[in-house]
Structure 1
C-alpha cells in the first residue's frame, strides 16, 4: 500500500508538471500572436491617409457621379480606410478648362472630363466623335480596351495629366423642341447646342445646321427661350439635365459617341507609393467597370421615363442617308494615324 501511494503521488506530480509546461507554451503562442497583431496594426497605421478630390461637370444624379461614389467605396475598401474621395459635381470647381488646370497643377486629384473638351488639348481624341461610327452605346463601350483607345490615354501626360480610363454616358442623339431629325434635310437652318469640337462642328456644317457650344447650365434656358432649336444629348442627359421639360421630340440618331476621359494628376500619382498607386488604379478600374455597365443597364429605363414625361421618340432607321457626310468626315480626319487606327478598330467589331 505504501508503495502504491508513493507511485500515485509521483504520477500526480508528473501530470502537474506537464500541464504547467503546456499552459506556459500556450500562453507563449498567444502572446506571440497578440504581438504580431499589434505589429500589423502598427504597420497599417504607419501608412499615410488621403482625401482625394474629384471634379466633373454633370449633375449629382448623373451616372458619372454615381460612378465617382463607387470609386470612393472601392478606394476606402482597398486601402483599409486610408483613402476617401470628395466629389465636386455640377462644375462646382469651374469650367472644364479650369478643372484641367487644377488637375495639372495637383490642386485637384481626379476628373471625369468630357472627351469633347479633352480633344481641344489632344487632337487625336477627336476619333471618338467620328459621326455614326457606333450604332449604340454598347458598341462604343467596347472600344475602351482597344490598342488605339489605350494609346490615347497617354497623350496628356506632358501636360501633367494621366489618362486612366474611359467612362461612357451614352451615345448622343438629337432632342428638339419640335420635329424629328431622321433625314439630312431636317437639319438645314437648325441651331443645335453641342459640345465644342471640330468634328462636331464639321458634321453640323455639312448638314447646313450650326453647332452652338455653351456651358451646361445655360442649355436649359437656351432651349426654353428658343435660342437653340435642339440639343445634342444622350438619353441620360436629356433626363438628368431636365431638357425633356422644354424639348419634346427625340430622334435616336446615335450620331456621336460621348464619354469622359478619366484622368488623375500626375503630380499626385507620383507622390504615392507603388502600392498606393496600384490601389488607386485598381479602384478606378473597378468603378469604371461598374459605371459603364450602369449606363448600359440604365438607358432603356430612362428612355421609358422620357416617354412617360411626354417626349416623342423616333428611331432613325435610314442612317444610310447620312453616309456621304460621314464618309467625308472620316476620310478628312484619317490623316491622323491614331484616328485611322481607332476607326479601323471600331469597324472590325
Structure 2
C-alpha cells in the first residue's frame, strides 16, 4: 500500500512540474529599463520661450500642450513659461542640454551655435515662398538636420515657424542695399545673419532678443529684422517708422526638448510627442499665413511706412555669403536646390 502511495505522489509531482514549465513567463521590458506605457508615472514638463502670449511661438506651444495632454490622457502635463521668464534662448538651450529646462520653442538662429547645419535654412533669399520652405523642412533634408540635434543632447521634435524676416528701422525707407549704409541693425547672434547684413552695408549689432526692445527704445540701435508677426506683437511701430518687406530669409523655429527627458519616456509617449509637435507646427504655419496680411494692414493703420525692396539688388549684394558658406553647407545647399528644382 505504501509503495502504491509513493508511486502516486511521484506521478503528481511530475505532472505539477510539467504544468509549471508550460506556463508563459512575462517578457522583460525592452532594454531592461524602459517602463511600460501603462506603468508610466505622470510627469509635468516645463516648456519655455522668450516671446509674449500674442506671438506665434506661444500659439504653437499652446497647441502642442493641448494635443499632448489629450493624447496621453493627462499622463504628460506641459506648463508653458513665456516672456523669457526662464532665460534667453541660449540659456534655454543650455538648460535643455543639462536637464534643468524640459522643452522650448526656439528660434533657429541661436540653435545654429549648437547645431551649425540648421543655419543653411536661413541663407539669404534661399526660398521664394512658404510652399518651398515646408517641402524642405518636412522632407529628407529637414528631418536629417532635425536628427543632428541629438548629437548635442537636444531632441528636435518638429520645425515650427518664425517666418520670412523683414527689416525695420527708425531712420529712413530702405529699398536698395545702398540705403542700408550706416544703419545700426540688431541681428541674432548667428554668423549667417551677421555676414548677410554686413554684405548689405549695415553696421551689425548681434544681440539677444531680451535686450533688443530696450536698445530700440533708447536709440542705441536703429533697426532690427523679424517677421511681421513679431513686429506687430511687440508693437515695434512705436520705435520703428519704416518697414521694408525684404523677406530676406526664412527663419524656422524648433519645438524641442531635452534628449535625456525624451529618452525616459515610453516609446508610445515619444511618438505622441513627435506627432503632436508636427501637428502643432503645421497648425501655427496656417495661422501665420492667414494673419500676416491682417497684421500688416494694422501696422500701416498705426502709422508705419511699408515699402517693397529691389529684391534683385539685394540678392546680388549677398552673393559673398553663399561663397563663404559653400564649404560649410555645400552638401545641404545642393540638396535643397535639387529639391526646389524638382
TM over 0.5: yes
The counterpart of 2:322, out of the listed 318, 330, 336, is: 330
- The alpha carbon displacement at 1:134 in A equals 2.1
CA contact (8 A) 1:235 1:299 kept: yes
**1:100-111 matches, cutoff 5 A:** 100-111=93-104
Residue number in structure 2 paired with 1:218: 211
Q: Distance in 1 between matches of 2:163 and 2:120?
A: 16
The counterpart of 1:130, out of the listed 115, 123, 126, is: 123
Residue number in structure 2 paired with 1:291: 284
Q: Deviations over 1:254-289 (max 9, x none)?
A: 111112122121111111111111121122122111
Moved more, 45-54 or 198-207: 45-54
Instruction: Tell whether 2:287 aligns with 1:319.
Output: no
CA contact (8 A) 2:43 2:75 kept: yes
Q: Secondary structure at the match of 1:173?
A: strand
Q: Distance in 1 between matches of 2:235 and 2:339?
A: 32
Residue number in structure 2 paired with 1:307: 300
With structure 1 as the length reference, what TM-score do the two structures score? 0.82
The counterpart of 1:151, out of the listed 141, 144, 151, is: 144
Moved more, 191-200 or 337-346: 337-346
Q: Secondary structure at the match of 1:208?
A: coil
Q: Secondary structure at the match of 1:255?
A: strand
Residue number in structure 2 paired with 1:193: 186
CA 1:115/1:239 → structure 2, altered by over 3 Å: closer, same or farther? Answer: same
**1:67-86 matches, cutoff 5 A:** 67-86=60-79
Q: Deviations over 1:114-171 (max 9, x none)?
A: 1100111122222022111123445433432122211111222122111121111221
Q: Secondary structure at the match of 2:163?
A: coil
Q: Distance in 2 between matches of 1:239 and 1:140?
A: 23
Q: Secondary structure at the match of 2:147?
A: coil
Root-mean-square deviation (Å): 2.0
CA contact (8 A) 2:158 2:274 kept: no
Q: Distance in 2 between matches of 1:242 and 1:347?
A: 35
Structure 2 unaligned residues grouped into runs of 5+: 1-35
With structure 2 as the length reference, what TM-score do the two structures score? 0.84
CA 1:326/1:207 → structure 2, altered by over 3 Å: closer, same or farther? Answer: closer
CA contact (8 A) 1:127 1:343 kept: no
CA contact (8 A) 1:130 1:326 kept: no
Q: Distance in 1 between matches of 2:202 and 2:291?
A: 31
- The alpha carbon displacement at 1:345 in A equals 4.6
**1:1-349 matches, cutoff 5 A:** 46-316=39-309, 318-335=310-327, 336-345=329-338, 347-348=340-341
CA contact (8 A) 1:56 1:112 kept: yes
Structure 1 unaligned residues grouped into runs of 5+: 1-42
Q: Distance in 2 between matches of 1:347 and 1:95?
A: 34
Q: Distance in 1 between matches of 2:40 and 2:190?
A: 44
